[in-house]
């Protein structure tokens, strides 16, 4: 393979960072290719734990990965930037200008050349153009957004405590993000009650709004029912079959004109790929901005451009619908492309990607957990709950750590995380 081959990966989420790490170890260190990871944020955080950052039950210092340091240790390079364009003729991506914290221009527009381009930009909640949502709602799609919500939560908690006033939090979206955040917020305030403010839970008014007939529509109905029962026992008001038509600083408005009042509004409904992908470079995208890819993970219009994870839409040959935008799909696709991309640059074909469905899991903080088993292995299609389901959910993150750091370093990091948790407070509301 020529040293001139340049592999550019845009997006440092689960799929992007795993792929960059693997290719850096195998191709970058050997000098067989130059691997570059591009992301607009300097650190990586496992997306399924963003709700714990938002609620203040996790310290990101123990879990985030600095791209620059990780790249130096694993044979690839990191470039800070946000992709705004694609030139398929010149084989270049365009990175938009970057501003510093003071608003001054830090970096001008740049172009990054590639021989193989992998787009792994993840996904975000879909506001569906509901008026006011972008103006007044918090989103929990990235680390900065989760931290911004937590900062607002701290301010509102202080106001509520000083004025002995209600703190009303409304979450729109009854999928995994909304449900997990709801449970984590309940745990946050339950723990806060033990720090000298026993009335804090009484002041907290939590509402979860879902447009569909039940929470967690991707899970079996009995998991949905058990989850709703758990949240209601924790004090949540759960509103299903409730359509939000607009939002303002007073709260969400239903289609019947009624107001759902809230001091903090969170939008966790719907899923779409970033807007910058819509029709980029003439590539085919679906209504959710996802790039339509073949079984080889290559885009239909350009074999040199690949897409992975939440920003890709792949319908299996014998499937009726596209693969879901989950961490497990992203992980398997990154592993598949990591095994075959080097050989493809030498002229060999990439075999079709085949997804092995291990099922889905959901953790309701420390209260409960559920798992819907997949289509292979023992007990196909079964349901697990309780401690075993919590352990299974936790193992997803541990496997992610192992893939990035190796077993030895991942074990050390786990120990450091546990020790750090013993040293500091269990929550952060001040």
Question: Domain holding 223: CATH number?
Answer: 3.50.50.60
| Residue 427 lies inside a defined structural domain of this protein | no
Specify whether the CB–CB gap between 372 and 360 falls below 8 A. Answer: yes
User: Which of 219, 252, 270 is the endpoint of a domain?
Assistant: 270
For 336, the domain range is: 5-123+273-346
The 8 Å CB, 24+ separation contacts for 400-406 are 400/14, 400/18, 400/46, 400/327, 400/331, 403/18, 403/21, 403/22, 403/331, 403/335, 404/17, 404/18, 404/21, 404/65, 404/70
Q: Which helix (H) or strand (E) segment is 119 a member of?
A: strand 116-119
| Residue 74 lies inside a defined structural domain of this protein | yes
Which pLDDT belongs to residue 187?
A: 87
| Residue 135 lies inside a defined structural domain of this protein | no
Q: Say how far apart CA 290 and CA 267 lie, in whole Å.
A: 20
Residues 43 and 119 in one domain: yes
Q: Say how far apart CA 67 and CA 44 lie, in whole Å.
A: 7
Which pLDDT belongs to residue 335?
A: 96
pTM of the model: 0.90
Residues 312 and 341 in one domain: yes
Q: What 3-state class would DSSP assign to 289?
A: coil
| Residue 367 lies inside a defined structural domain of this protein | yes
Give the CA distances from residue 51 to residues 55, 101, 111, 169, 248, in Å, rounded to whole numbers and listed in that order. 6, 25, 34, 14, 23
Q: Which two tokens stand for residue 236?
A: 């949540």
Residues 147 and 224 in one domain: yes
Query: CA geometry: angle at 223 spanning 221 and 228, to 5°?
Result: 95
Residues 339 and 410 in one domain: no
**Averaged pLDDT in 10-residue chunks for the chain of 430 residues:** 78 97 96 96 92 88 89 96 96 92 85 97 95 97 95 92 92 94 89 71 90 91 90 92 96 96 96 94 95 96 97 89 92 97 95 88 76 56 67 77 81 67 53
Which pLDDT belongs to residue 209?
A: 97
Which pLDDT belongs to residue 191?
A: 82
| Residue 66 lies inside a defined structural domain of this protein | yes
User: Which of 270, 289, 304 is the endpoint of a domain?
Assistant: 270
Residues 169 and 284 in one domain: no
Residues 284 and 197 in one domain: no
């Amino acid at each position: 393979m020529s040293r001139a081959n340049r592999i550019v990966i845009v997006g440092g989420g689960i799929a992007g960072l795993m792929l960059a790490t693997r290719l850096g170890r195998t191709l970058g260190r050997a000098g067989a290719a130059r691997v570059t990871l591009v992301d607009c944020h300097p650190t990586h955080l496992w997306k399924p734990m963003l709700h714990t950052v938002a609620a203040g039950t996790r310290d990101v210092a123990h879990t985030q990965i600095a791209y620059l340091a990780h790249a130096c240790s694993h044979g690839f390079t990191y470039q800070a930037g946000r992709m705004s364009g694609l030139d398929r003729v010149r084989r270049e991506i365009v990175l938009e200008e970057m501003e510093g914290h003071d608003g001054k221009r830090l970096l001008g527009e740049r172009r990054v050349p590639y021989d193989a381009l992998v787009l792994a930009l993840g996904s975000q909640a879909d506001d569906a153009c509901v008026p006011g949502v972008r103006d007044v709602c918090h989103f929990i799609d990235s680390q900065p957004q989760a931290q911004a919500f937590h900062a607002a939560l701290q301010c509102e908690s202080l106001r509520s405590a000083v004025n002995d006033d209600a703190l009303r939090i409304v979450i729109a979206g009854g999928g995994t993000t909304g449900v997990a955040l709801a449970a984590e917020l309940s745990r946050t305030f339950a723990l806060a009650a033990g720090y000298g403010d026993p009335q804090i839970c009484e002041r907290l008014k939590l509402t979860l709004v879902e447009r569909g007939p039940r929470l967690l529509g991707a899970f079996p109905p009995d998991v949905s029912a058990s989850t709703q029962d758990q949240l209601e026992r924790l004090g949540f008001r759960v509103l299903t079959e409730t359509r939000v038509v607009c939002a303002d600083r007073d709260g969400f408005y239903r289609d019947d004109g009624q107001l759902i009042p809230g001091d903090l509004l969170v939008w966790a409904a719907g899923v779409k790929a970033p807007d910058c992908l819509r029709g980029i470079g003439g590539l085919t995208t679906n209504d959710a901005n996802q790039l339509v890819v073949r079984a080889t993970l290559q885009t239909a219009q350009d074999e040199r451009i690949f897409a992975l994870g939440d920003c890709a839409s792949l319908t299996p040959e014998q499937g009726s619908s596209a693969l879901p935008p989950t961490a497990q799909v992203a992980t398997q696709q990154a592993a598949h492309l990591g095994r075959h991309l080097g050989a493809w640059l030498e002229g060999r074909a990439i075999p079709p990607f085949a997804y092995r469905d291990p099922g889905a899991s959901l953790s309701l903080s420390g209260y409960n957990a559920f798992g819907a088993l997949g289509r292979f292995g023992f007990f196909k299609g079964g349901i697990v709950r309780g401690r075993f389901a919590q352990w299974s959910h936790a193992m997803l993150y541990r496997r992610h750590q192992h893939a990035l750091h190796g077993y030895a370093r991942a074990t050390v990091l786990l120990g450091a995380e546990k020790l750090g948790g013993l040293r500091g407070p269990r929550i952060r509301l001040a």
